[in-house]
Amino acid sequence: MRTQNKLLVYVLVVLIAIPFSLAFAWAGEAQKIKISLCHLYVPGQFQHEIQFPRYFKMVEEETKGKYILDVKLYPAGTLLGGVEMYDGVVKGIVDIGVSVFAFTPGRFPVMVTLSQPGIAPPRNCNAAAHTAWEFYNKFKPKELDDTKVLYIYGVGNGWIHSKKPIRSVGDIKGLKTRGTGAMVPGIKALGGEAIGLPSTETFLAAQRGVIDAAVFPLQPLEEYKLHEVFDYSTFIPGISSEFKFVTMNRDKWKSLPKDLQAAFDAVTEKALEEAGRIWQYYQTDHMIELIKTFPGGHQLLYLPDSEVAKVKELLRPIRNKYAASLDQKGLPGEEIVSEAAKIMEKYNERKYEPWKPPAK
């Protein structure tokens, strides 16, 4: 009898100990999940070094250490280009892809509404990111149904960088201006001659006189050394705004543990908010200060209100034409363009906390 009691106690101790042992084992060994991400930037740029690593760190922290994301980043020129990025995600060539909606004309008619000149010009990158996410969730366009959208962000408003000062709309007339995708109608509407060129070819084209100006945010002044070939940068509200997707292959998404999926979803708002703040810092705030140090000087110009009103009026036909093109696709064109403008206006009025790089 005594032997049986000892055996019973032993069994009970073992049964109680097993869950605790498993808990300690789990706590000590986080599950590693491999993920590949392809984007448009080169090593050394803030997107490769800061934005995406911080994003995956957010997800890991949300799981409280249960998962470690073993992420392989494929920078520009290594796996997929911007044009084929989305289809590469759909086919599973890469798990996550990052690119610009407007790079594939006709593929994302609803989301590219935000990029059309004059429809919903962002005041900054923060407003662009929040607008894009609310707009996406408002319409849930079928054009993105074949992937899992993780988050969306925007690069803010474009500037015209030029050799001569632009102080009025009339100064744009006849300028041979580098512009691609949705920028082209805006350049033409303001009287410029749109010249399609990759970003990397802009410097030589300007140096050789092939172009007089180029539409970009401020960052390429440093990134592509455009400040050496252009002396002026003029803020033109509504001429250009690009939006970028961060999206995952559907099969990859389904293969993830449910609690890891929940972690990705839980950090979406935080991820897009930080993306907006990081881009605003590197694209505008940091650049405005850096421009002051450029050898030979570089001037930032802003159109007076009377000229801004002219810009808006010249860009208005683009809005109406795009709404009609959405109608032709069986989509509610007027509702889509009106909501884009309304949502952007809301976020343009919001105040945002500036971002600062982490201390080295």
Domain residue spans in the chain?
30-348
| This prediction's pTM | 0.87
As a whole number, the mean pLDDT across the chain is 91
> According to CATH, what is the number of the domain 30-348?
3.40.190.170
pLDDT at position 360 is: 67
pLDDT, tens digit, for every residue of 152-174?
999 888 899 999 999 999 999 99
- The pairs formed by 332-340 with CB atoms below 8 angstroms and a separation of 24 or more are 336/110, 336/113, 336/139, 337/113, 337/116, 337/119, 339/135, 339/138, 339/139, 340/113, 340/114, 340/119, 340/120, 340/131, 340/135
pLDDT, tens digit, for every residue of 96-150?
999 999 988 899 999 999 999 999 999 999 999 999 999 999 999 999 999 999 9
Q: Which of 252, 248, 250 is nearest to 268 (CA)?
A: 248
SS3 4: helix
Residue 16 pLDDT level (bands cut at 50, 70, 90): very low
pLDDT, tens digit, for every residue of 184-209?
999 999 999 999 988 889 999 999 99
Indicate the DSSP class of residue 239.
S
Asked if 227 and 74 count as a contact pair (C-beta separation under 8 A), the reply is no
Q: What span, in angstroms and rounded, lies between the C-alpha atoms of 329 and 143? A: 12
pLDDT, tens digit, for every residue of 38-63?
999 989 889 999 999 999 999 999 99
Determine how many CB atoms are found less than 10 A away from the CB of residue 62: 18
Q: Which of 257, 264, 260, 248 is nearest to 94 (CA)?
A: 248
Biggest CA pair distance of the chain: 105
Phi, psi of 312 (to 5 degrees): -60, -40
